[in-house]
């Protein structure tokens, strides 16, 4: 697993609960963490060590324990360049429809629901108890925070974040690079690169972050 911070701790727990992969250890950007342990699993080094670690330990995949969309995209690319597969981590208490489609490196945490017809592209995080209803489209590297609700037919753009407890009404589009504040209620489309907040949600500023 890549990432030994708070988000990584939740991902590690989900890996163990799912029991679908054998966890060898963790890498993290902070070299000071090498030689320590996360819930008993060794921190083996930094991400640039992955090719050597893969050969030494027979690793074929990496789970991404990074919450920030832009940092997670950088790490996703590092994993692929190392010749490894970004693996999906699905907590066993999540409810995923057989008619949903998931890309690579997707994380779906405890209590989340993903309903039929939804497509989740690569490197997306659906966090704890989030509700993703029917026929949604979650573009790559977006993040749906805990307890957020996406009703039917919603499209979430690449690198967009939907804050904790936010609600997005049916058949709306949230443009890429945008941020929906915690507890917001979105009742109309949100353009690209905007931060919206409130009930109903209103634009409060431009969101300038872009992938590196």
DSSP secondary structure letters along 25-86: -EE-S-GGGTT-EETTEEEEE-GGGHHHHHHHHT--EE-B---SHHHHHHHHHHHHHTT-EE
**pLDDT value for 146:** 98
What secondary structure letter does DSSP report for 188? S
**pLDDT value for 128:** 98
Give every strand in the sheet of 173-174, ordered side by side. 101-102, 119-120, 137-138, 155-156, 173-174
Q: Which residues of 164-179 are buried (b: 16+ CB within 10 A; e: fewer)?
A: bbbbbbeebbbbbbbb
Q: Which residues are CB-neighbours of 43 under 8 A, at least 6 positions away?
A: 4, 25, 26, 27, 28, 33, 34, 35, 36, 37
Q: Which residues are catalytic?
A: 134
Q: Where are the domains of the chain?
A: 6-87, 90-202
Q: 1 with 62: CB under 8 angstroms?
A: yes
Domain 90-202 has CATH 3.40.50.150: no
The CATH number given to 6-87 is 3.40.50.20
Tokens of 22: 């054998």
**pLDDT value for 210:** 85
What is the distance between the alpha carbons of residues 78 and 103, in angstroms, rounded to a whole number?
Answer: 17
Q: Which residues of the chain have pLDDT under 70?
A: 212
**pLDDT value for 68:** 95
Tokens of 201: 């949600």
């Amino acid at each position: 697993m890549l990432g030994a911070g708070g988000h990584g701790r939740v991902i590690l727990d989900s890996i163990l609960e799912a029991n679908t992969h054998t966890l060898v250890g963790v890498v993290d950007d902070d070299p000071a963490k090498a030689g320590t342990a996360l819930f008993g699993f060794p921190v083996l080094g930094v991400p640039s060590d992955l090719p050597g670690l893969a050969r030494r330990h027979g690793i074929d995949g990496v789970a991404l324990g990074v919450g920030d969309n832009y940092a997670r995209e950088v790490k996703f690319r590092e994993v692929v360049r190392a010749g490894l597969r970004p693996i999906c981590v699905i907590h066993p208490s999540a409810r995923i429809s057989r008619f949903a489609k998931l890309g690579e490196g997707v994380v779906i945490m405890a209590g989340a629901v993903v309903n039929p017809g939804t497509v989740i592209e690569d490197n997306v995080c659906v966090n704890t108890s989030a509700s993703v209803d029917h026929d949604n489209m979650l573009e790559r590297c977006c993040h749906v925070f805990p307890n957020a609700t996406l009703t039917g037919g919603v499209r979430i753009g690449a690198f967009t974040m939907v804050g904790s407890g936010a609600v997005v009404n049916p058949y709306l589009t949230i443009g890429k690079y945008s941020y929906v504040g915690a507890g917001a209620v979105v009742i109309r489309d949100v353009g690209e690169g905007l931060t919206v907040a409130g009930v109903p949600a209103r634009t409060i500023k431009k969101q300038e972050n872009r992938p590196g």
